[in-house]
């Protein structure tokens, strides 16, 4: 189906189903229950899941296939966001031109940075990309403030031209991004008993884009081009000796991966029309590396899982405060309650980084293949009799 | 390899399914409509406290959160009532807001616009917050204010001092109680003229971001108006921790006054560096070298220690004020936490009360009703004397304090002494003042 073999097609279908039913899957706990704290089915977070999924898929095309570890990928995300917001300011609030320009701009940007950085490999390449990203951050933060809005970020204003759309709504407000009149932030709620499920236009739009980019990534992974990239990863010298110049291939992979990041940036701006310089900071670049490694380098689904995991922790764990903890452990005797709360407290709220660090360490030590390997092991544990059925359709390491 | 081919029928089918999928949400969207975003339906109302819990302003954020918790207590009729007893409006009964018990959710802005918006969004979308408040940076305030305008909830800004918050980036759904750069300049200038004379040469070090720019501009224009000369204005990165390389050229420049447009950790470091370089013992142009810090806070003074002695600055509020409102607030805060509140805590506490009072007077949580109740609202008894929430830009106009680092502090909290309470008339400006030009409030947004 769609030019994919059976295994990949079923993987794509599984991902599509997961994405389509995410509003249900992510809201397993009824409203008002103590566990509702762990519900993640609200539009902003669901959008983040798929957008960072795209970012990580793109990063994986470079890192997973060629083995080149870029430490500056957030720069492309930021460039994409700025480009998209500028389209909202100048052209119209339609998201399509914004996203297209975001992809093109970040592609050009990636071409320039990649052309220079790819002259080196290994750690030198990583440092070069890191340097370029930090340079872009510094430019966005304080030098190019007329273009980037500096520390405040680039925002829409009432007096923007928006030549193809209206500058203001009838009520005198800034219009919101939309797709031919379909507003990205429109949501509808489905109430079933105590459960509330939110369906958001922006989420489904981003989800469709994510599925398309996922499909494209599968095609790249399975193509002769993908094979070349794997050859670069396994032994570049040997490739050189056979008379092949790997540079065009790695550069192409770098640009594609930069465009994915730009696409993610454009989508982020479409969901929330503001572009801040922090998006380009080196910690943001590090985050996508974490996502990919956490999920499983070189696997198709891994980066998406990793992105989901990190965004979930960032948004859910970080919002648990000591009051909520006291609520949970109220059934314990007072002294014990305080003790338990004091023990858990460093790992929640602003301490979510600590929790993430521990999870990351555990994954790297015990599951070097990331969450995907975990899935594989579980699947092996409950091994099926039918051997030709894919052990776990989600799990297909690159090598 | 490929299992299926792309056929015309297949494409049409897929397109139809995708179209239906896209259309479904809009079809369902008639489900709930109360007229505005997150209308509280049960017996409680949720407010969102979005403060920096990590990053450079974490101290301020922690103090803001304490103030909010105190405000919630007082609104729900617990504790001693604090400023509710001194507030000139008597609409609040201590039974929550409009009879609904006040609950709250907290979030971490990390002092980053993106993170602050994500946190505010989750409060609005997930927790159903009807008002967002807090923050300790102008960049964050401006970003979150714009978000609240889009989403249709009220934003009550926390500590934000940049002119832009109620200037070029003002929004109809956003309100600021804190004073701003222009007011600092207008309040400081006469005091500086009286103490340091009118023919000084100033050298500015400015934090390289929005707040730094507007503060530098405000101080420059008000000091230049009284005869000072600005020798140079150098921008320093926000992340800078060692300012030696910026301080060294100051002496060679022939300036006799250093203005530090820095806040928080920046100011603590730059001031410490300046004092270590012995600037304050120098004589330039026959005058003693002086240092000025336009925006002061007690937390900063604590960080800079003995270096702040005798240095002038301005502040929104100080716990040693002797009016009834301040005394009541300091007392209930001190009883609960064991130390006096900072100006950030004060402004956040007051903002929470002002919001609750506006809802009570409007009889509705609808943002547009609240905006109407707050616009042009005059009140007293909240620690700054008579105060006006101006309708043109949603900025509070009230007295501004000029303070000086105390020579002989009696405790670790008693670090600043009030030099002058600048009357509100002196710091009032026209809504279209050049330092505030270029923005539009738009109209209030109730959301959906």
Q: How far apart are the first and last CA of chain B?
A: 50
ipTM above 0.85, yes or no: no
pLDDT at residue B127 in the model? 87
CB spacing of A205 vs B22 below 8 angstroms: yes
> What are the chain B neighbours of A20 within 8 Å (beta carbons)?
21
CB spacing of B147 vs A274 below 8 angstroms: yes
CB spacing of A142 vs B442 below 8 angstroms: no
Q: Could you tell me the pLDDT band of residue B31, with boundaries at 50, 70 and 90?
A: very low
The answer to whether residue B151 sits within a structural domain is: yes
> Which residues of B201-278 form beta strands (DSSP E)?
201-207, 229-236, 257-261
Closest chain A residue to the Cα of B3, Cα to Cα: A1
CB contacts < 8 A (A, B): 154
Distances (CA, A) of B123 to B32, B107, B147, B360, B409: 19, 8, 12, 22, 42
Task: State which H helix or E strand residue A342 sits in.
Answer: helix A334-344
In this complex, the residue of B1, B29, B54 whose CB is nearest that of residue A5 is B1
What's the CA gap between A26 and A23, in Å, rounded?
A: 6
CB spacing of A321 vs B106 below 8 angstroms: yes
Closest chain A residue to the Cα of B123, Cα to Cα: A319
Single residue among B389, B410, B439 that ends a domain in this structure:
B389
In this complex, the residue of A155, A159, A276 whose CB is nearest that of residue B112 is A276
Please indicate, yes or no, whether residues B370 and B299 belong to a single structural domain of this protein: no
CB spacing of B25 vs A279 below 8 angstroms: no
> What are the chain B neighbours of A150 within 8 Å (beta carbons)?
209-210
In this complex, the residue of B25, B54, B114 whose CB is nearest that of residue A199 is B25
Quote the minimal CA–CA distance from B101 to chain A in Å.
16
Q: Could you tell me the pLDDT band of residue B24, with boundaries at 50, 70 and 90?
A: very low
Strand partners, A196: A191
Quote the minimal CA–CA distance from B165 to chain A in Å.
10
A272, B117 Cβ separation under 8 angstroms: yes
> What are the chain B neighbours of A274 within 8 Å (beta carbons)?
113-114, 117, 143, 146-147
Rounded (10°) angle between helices A302-316 and A43-66: 140
Say yes or no: A194 contacts chain B, CB-CB below 8 A.
no
Please indicate, yes or no, whether residues B139 and B90 belong to a single structural domain of this protein: yes
CB spacing of A152 vs B107 below 8 angstroms: no
> What are the chain A neighbours of B2 within 8 Å (beta carbons)?
1-5
Q: With a CB-CB cutoff of 8 Å, which residues 15-74 of chain A face chain B?
A: 20, 39, 42-45, 48
Q: Could you tell me the pLDDT band of residue B20, with boundaries at 50, 70 and 90?
A: low
The answer to whether residue B288 sits within a structural domain is: yes
Alpha helices in A27-94 (DSSP H): 43-66, 74-90
CATH number at residue B82: 3.40.50.2300
The two structure tokens encoding residue B293 = 């810090």
pLDDT at residue B204 in the model? 94
Quote the minimal CA–CA distance from A146 to chain B in Å.
12
Closest chain A residue to the Cα of B448, Cα to Cα: A186
pLDDT at residue B12 in the model? 65
CB spacing of A274 vs B114 below 8 angstroms: yes
The answer to whether residue B266 sits within a structural domain is: yes
Q: Which of B316, B279, B271 has the alpha carbon at shortest distance from B296? A: B316
Q: Residue B404: what are its φ and ψ, rounded to 5°? A: -140, 140
In this complex, the residue of A45, A173, A204 whose CB is nearest that of residue B443 is A173
> What are the chain A neighbours of B48 within 8 Å (beta carbons)?
none
pLDDT at residue B28 in the model? 40
Task: State which H helix or E strand residue B22 sits in.
Answer: helix B8-28
Q: Which of B267, B121, B435 has the alpha carbon at shortest distance from A273? A: B121
In this complex, the residue of A152, A200, A208 whose CB is nearest that of residue B142 is A152
B157, B141 Cβ separation under 8 angstroms: yes
B250, B197 Cβ separation under 8 angstroms: no
What's the CA gap between B408 and B405, in Å, rounded?
A: 9
Say yes or no: A286 contacts chain B, CB-CB below 8 A.
no
Q: Which residues contact A81 (CB under 8 A, 6 or more apart)?
A: A102, A154, A265, A266, A268, A269, A275, A279
What's the CA gap between B231 and B224, in Å, rounded?
A: 11
Is B304 exposed, middle or buried, given 0-12, 13-18 or 19+ CB atoms closer than 10 A?
buried
Q: Which of A398, A388, A399 has the alpha carbon at shortest distance from A7? A: A388
CB spacing of B117 vs A272 below 8 angstroms: yes
For Cα atoms B55, B61, B66, give the angle at the middle one, nearest 5 degrees: 150
pLDDT at residue B27 in the model? 40
pLDDT at residue B30 in the model? 36
Strand partners, B416: B405
Closest chain B residue to the Cα of A273, Cα to Cα: B147
CB spacing of B3 vs A315 below 8 angstroms: no
Mean pLDDT of B160-170: 90
A196, A40 Cβ separation under 8 angstroms: no
Q: Which residues contact B25 (CB under 8 A, 6 or more apart)?
A: A186, A187, A188, A199, A200, A201, A204
Q: With a CB-CB cutoff of 8 Å, which residues 75-134 of chain A face chain B?
A: none
Q: Residue A154: what are its φ and ψ, rounded to 5°? A: -85, 125
The two structure tokens encoding residue A31 = 């409203």
Quote the minimal CA–CA distance from B344 to chain A in Å.
20
What's the CA gap between B107 and B64, in Å, rounded?
A: 12
What's the CA gap between A58 and A139, in Å, rounded?
A: 24
In this structure, how many other beta carbons lie within 10 angstroms of the beta carbon of residue B378? 11
The answer to whether residue B397 sits within a structural domain is: no
Quote the minimal CA–CA distance from B106 to chain A in Å.
7
pLDDT at residue B16 above 80?
Answer: no
What's the CA gap between A102 and B12, in Å, rounded?
A: 29
pLDDT at residue B136 in the model? 86
Say yes or no: A283 contacts chain B, CB-CB below 8 A.
no
- In chain B, how long is the greatest CA-to-CA distance? 90
A309, A188 Cβ separation under 8 angstroms: no
Q: Which of B234, B230, B232 has the alpha carbon at shortest distance from B200? A: B230
Q: How far apart are the first and last CA of chain A?
A: 23
> What are the chain A neighbours of B115 within 8 Å (beta carbons)?
278
pLDDT at residue B1 in the model? 42
Please indicate, yes or no, whether residues B149 and B196 belong to a single structural domain of this protein: no
Please indicate, yes or no, whether residues B289 and B337 belong to a single structural domain of this protein: no
pLDDT at residue A392 in the model? 47
Quote the minimal CA–CA distance from B134 to chain A in Å.
16
pLDDT, mean over chain B: 87
pLDDT at residue B25 in the model? 43
In this structure, how many other beta carbons lie within 10 angstroms of the beta carbon of residue A143? 13
Say yes or no: A293 contacts chain B, CB-CB below 8 A.
no
Quote the minimal CA–CA distance from A75 to chain B in Å.
15
In this complex, the residue of A172, A174, A188 whose CB is nearest that of residue B31 is A188
Quote the minimal CA–CA distance from A218 to chain B in Å.
13
Q: Which residue has the tokens 């300012």?
A: B243
pLDDT at residue B26 above 50?
Answer: no
CB spacing of B113 vs A199 below 8 angstroms: no
For Cα atoms B238, B61, B212, give the angle at the middle one, nearest 5 degrees: 30
Per-residue confidence in pLDDT tens, chain A, 399 aa: 678 888 899 999 999 999 999 988 888 888 777 777 888 888 889 999 999 999 999 999 999 999 999 999 999 999 999 999 999 999 888 999 999 999 999 999 999 999 999 998 889 999 999 999 999 998 998 788 888 887 778 888 877 888 887 777 777 778 888 888 788 888 888 888 888 888 988 999 999 999 999 999 999 999 999 999 999 999 888 999 999 999 999 999 999 999 999 999 999 999 988 888 888 888 889 999 999 999 988 888 899 999 998 988 888 887 777 777 877 888 888 888 888 888 888 888 778 888 889 999 999 899 888 899 888 888 888 876 544 444 444 555 555
Range of the domain at B187: 182-315
In this structure, how many other beta carbons lie within 10 angstroms of the beta carbon of residue A300? 27
Please indicate, yes or no, whether residues B223 and B347 belong to a single structural domain of this protein: no
Please indicate, yes or no, whether residues B171 and B188 belong to a single structural domain of this protein: no
Please indicate, yes or no, whether residues B132 and B206 belong to a single structural domain of this protein: no
- Mind listing the pLDDT tens digit for each residue in B245-298? 999 898 888 899 999 999 888 888 999 999 998 888 888 888 889 999 999 888
Strand partners, B186: none
Domain tally, chain B? 2
Quote the minimal CA–CA distance from A204 to chain B in Å.
7
Single residue among B315, B342, B374 that ends a domain in this structure:
B315
> What are the chain B neighbours of A141 within 8 Å (beta carbons)?
208-209
pLDDT at residue B378 in the model? 93
The answer to whether residue B243 sits within a structural domain is: yes
Query: Kind of pairing, strands B287-288 and B44-51?
Result: unpaired
Single residue among B389, B408, B441 that ends a domain in this structure:
B389
CB spacing of A153 vs B143 below 8 angstroms: yes
pLDDT at residue B29 in the model? 39
What's the CA gap between A256 and A270, in Å, rounded?
A: 21
pLDDT at residue B379 in the model? 92
In this complex, the residue of B30, B54, B125 whose CB is nearest that of residue A43 is B125
Please indicate, yes or no, whether residues B359 and B371 belong to a single structural domain of this protein: yes
pLDDT at residue B6 in the model? 62
Say yes or no: A321 contacts chain B, CB-CB below 8 A.
yes
Task: State which H helix or E strand residue B8 sits in.
Answer: helix B8-28
pLDDT at residue B218 in the model? 93
Query: Kind of pairing, strands B257-261 and B201-207?
Result: parallel
In this complex, the residue of A6, A39, A315 whose CB is nearest that of residue B118 is A315
Q: Which of A55, A43, A115 has the alpha carbon at shortest distance from A80? A: A55
Among B13, B113, B161, pick the best mutation site for testing chain A contact (most A Cβ within 10 A): B113
Please indicate, yes or no, whether residues B97 and B221 belong to a single structural domain of this protein: no
Q: How many residues does chain A have?
A: 399
pLDDT at residue A82 in the model? 95
């Amino acid at each position: 189906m769609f030019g994919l073999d059976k295994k990949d097609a079923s993987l794509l279908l599984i991902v599509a189903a997961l994405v389509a039913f995410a509003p249900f899957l992510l809201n397993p706990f009824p409203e008002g229950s103590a566990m509702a704290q762990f519900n993640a089915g609200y539009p902003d977070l669901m959008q983040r899941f798929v957008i960072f999924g795209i970012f990580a898929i793109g990063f994986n095309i470079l890192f997973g296939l060629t083995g080149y570890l870029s430490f500056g990928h957030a720069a492309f995300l930021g460039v994409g966001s700025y480009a998209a917001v500028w389209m909202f300011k100048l052209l119209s609030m339609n998201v399509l031109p914004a996203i297209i320009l975001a992809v093109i701009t970040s592609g050009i940007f990636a071409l320039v940075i990649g052309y220079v950085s790819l002259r080196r490999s290994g750690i030198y390449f990583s440092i070069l990309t890191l340097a370029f990203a930090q340079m872009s951050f510094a430019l966005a933060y304080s030098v190019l403030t007329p273009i980037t809005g500096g520390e405040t970020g680039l925002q829409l204003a009432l007096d923007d031209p928006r030549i193809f759309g209206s500058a203001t709504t009838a009520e005198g407000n800034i219009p919101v991004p939309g797709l031919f009149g379909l507003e990205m932030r429109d949501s509808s709620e489905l109430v079933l008993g105590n459960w509330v499920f939110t369906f958001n236009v922006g989420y489904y739009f981003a989800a469709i884009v994510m599925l398309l980019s996922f499909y494209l990534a599968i095609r790249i992974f399975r193509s002769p081009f993908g094979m070349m990239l794997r050859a670069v990863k396994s032994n570049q010298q040997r490739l050189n000796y056979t008379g092949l110049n790997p540079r065009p291939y790695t550069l192409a992979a770098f640009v594609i991966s930069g465009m994915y990041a730009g696409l993610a940036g454009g989508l982020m701006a479409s969901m929330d029309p503001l572009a801040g310089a922090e998006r380009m900071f080196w910690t943001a670049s590090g985050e996508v590396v974490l996502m990919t490694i956490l999920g499983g380098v070189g696997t198709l689904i891994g980066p998406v899982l990793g992105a989901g995991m990190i965004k979930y922790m960032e948004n859910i764990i970080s919002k648990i405060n000591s009051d909520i903890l006291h609520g949970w452990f109220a059934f314990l005797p007072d002294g014990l309650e305080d003790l338990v709360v004091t023990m858990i407290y460093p790992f929640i709220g602003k301490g979510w980084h600590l929790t993430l660090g521990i999870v990351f360490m555990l994954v790297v030590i015990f599951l070097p293949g990331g969450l995907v390997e975990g899935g594989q092991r579980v699947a092996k544990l409950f091994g099926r009799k039918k051997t030709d059925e894919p052990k776990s359709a989600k799990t297909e390491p690159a090598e | 390899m490929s299992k299926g081919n792309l056929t015309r029928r297949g494409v049409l089918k897929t397109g139809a399914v995708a179209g239906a999928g896209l259309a479904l949400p809009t079809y369902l969207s008639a489900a709930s409509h109360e007229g505005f975003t997150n209308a509280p339906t049960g017996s409680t109302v949720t407010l969102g406290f979005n403060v920096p819990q990590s990053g450079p302003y974490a101290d301020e954020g922690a103090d803001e959160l304490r103030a909010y918790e105190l405000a919630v207590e007082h609104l729900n009729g617990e504790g001693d009532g604090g400023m509710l007893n001194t507030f000139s409006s008597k609409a609040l009964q201590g039974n929550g807001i409009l009879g609904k018990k006040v609950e709250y959710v907290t979030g971490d802005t990390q002092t980053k616009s993106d993170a602050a918006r994500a946190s505010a969004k989750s409060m609005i979308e997930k927790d159903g917050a009807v008002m967002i408040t807090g923050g300790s940076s102008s960049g964050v305030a401006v970003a979150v204010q714009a978000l609240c305008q889009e989403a249709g909830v009220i934003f009550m800004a926390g500590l934000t001092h940049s002119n832009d918050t109620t200037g070029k980036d003002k929004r109809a759904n956003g309100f600021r109680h804190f004073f701003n750069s222009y007011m600092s300049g207008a309040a400081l200038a006469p005091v500086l003229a009286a103490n340091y004379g009118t023919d000084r040469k100033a050298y500015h070090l400015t934090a390289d971001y929005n707040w730094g720019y507007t503060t530098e501009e405000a101080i420059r224009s008000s000091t230049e108006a009284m005869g000072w000369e600005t020798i140079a204005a150098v921008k320093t990165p926000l992340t800078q921790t060692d300012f030696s390389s910026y301080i060294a050229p100051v002496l060679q420049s022939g300036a006799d006054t250093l203005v530090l447009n820095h806040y928080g950790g920046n100011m603590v470091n730059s001031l410490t560096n300046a004092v270590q370089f012995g600037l304050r013992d120098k004589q330039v142009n026959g005058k003693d070298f002086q240092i000025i810090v336009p925006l002061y806070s007690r937390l900063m003074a604590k960080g800079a220690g003995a270096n702040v002695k005798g240095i002038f600055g301005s502040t929104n509020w100080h716990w040693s004020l002797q009016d009834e409102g301040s005394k009541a607030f300091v007392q209930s805060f001190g009883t609960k936490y064991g130390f006096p509140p900072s100006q950030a805590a004060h402004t956040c506490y007051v903002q929470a009360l002002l919001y609750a009072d506006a809802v009570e007077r409007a009889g509705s949580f609808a943002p547009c009703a609240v905006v109407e109740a707050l616009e042009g609202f005059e009140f007293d008894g909240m620690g700054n004397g008579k105060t006006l929430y101006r309708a043109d830009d949603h900025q509070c106009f009230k007295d501004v304090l000029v303070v000086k680092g105390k020579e002989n502090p009696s405790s670790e909290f008693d670090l600043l002494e009030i030099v002058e309470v600048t009357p509100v008339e002196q710091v009032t400006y026209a809504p279209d003042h050049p330092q505030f030009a270029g923005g539009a409030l738009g109209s209030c947004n109730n959301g959906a």
